[in-house]
Amino acid sequence: MNKGTLFIVSGPSGCGKGTILAEVLKNDNIYYSISATTRDPRPGETDGVNYHFLTKEKFEELIDGNGMLEYASYCGNYYGTPRKPVEDMLAQGKHVILEIEVQGALKVMEKCPEAVSVFILPPSMKELRRRLNKRGTETEDVIERRLEQAGNEIRQADKYDYVMINGDLDDAVRDLMSIIKAQELKKENSEYLINEVLYNA
Ligand code: 5GP
């Protein structure tokens, strides 16, 4: 069995990462890493499903105990990836998707050079503003901060292995699945296939 691949997926808040990932995650062989955060849950979010919602103290305890693969401070809150589930799932041969912002993504690229990184662009800044307004879960002030942050993040998209756009949802889902498939078909990951053809009658 091959070890799974670690995928890093970033894109500005409101670019539609969550909607694309919800489709891609219907595939049983892909595990979505549930992050920890100190931000408050949004209506409809559940602890342990969308995030592990932690106090600042508890989050810092995890950092000190080396329990985080990466973490970053984003718009005034901590966000981080609990290390153990990621390592366990990869060892079991599953792909793991980290949906994380750029600072954390750059740290993971450095620590795990074999990870495959994907940046998701919105079709335009105007459309991003429209989507954030439509979501209606943030105040005007938070939306402005997130848009400013979005510009900073998009300027770093060229540090990722792949850059895709989320205009049409079906196209975007297909694009991300193609990246995952291409990774599976790389020769480094195909040793078992070659052996199967050679040695299984
Ligand atoms: P939101 O508050 O909209 O759920 O997330 C804000 C940003 O934090 C998003 O760009 C999201 O991808 C990122 N994020 C979520 N979890 C993590 C994490 O574990 N680590 C890092 N570095 N960023 C995260």
pLDDT tens digits, one per residue of 99-120: 999 999 999 999 999 999 999 9
**Pairwise pLDDT comparison (189 vs 37), residue with the higher score:** 37
What's the number of CA atoms in the CB half-sphere (13 Å) around residue 59? 20
Q: What pTM, to 2 d.p., does this model score?
A: 0.92
Cα separation, 175 vs 167, in Å, equals: 11
Query: CA separation (Å) from 196 to 4, 180, 193?
Result: 19, 22, 5
Closest-CA residue, ligand 1 atom 20, reads 80
| Ligand 1, atom 2: closest residue by C-alpha | 39
Give 126 Cα–ligand 1 centroid separation in angstroms.
22
On whether the CB atoms of residues 131 and 16 are closer than 8 A, the answer is yes
Rounded Cα gap, residues 126 and 122, in angstroms: 9
Number of C-beta neighbours around residue 167 at 10 A: 13
Q: What is the pLDDT of residues 140-159, one digit of tens each?
A: 888 898 899 999 999 999 99
The pLDDT value given to residue 1? 63
Nearest CA to ligand 1 atom 21: 100
**Residue 153: CB within 6 Å of ligand 1?**
no
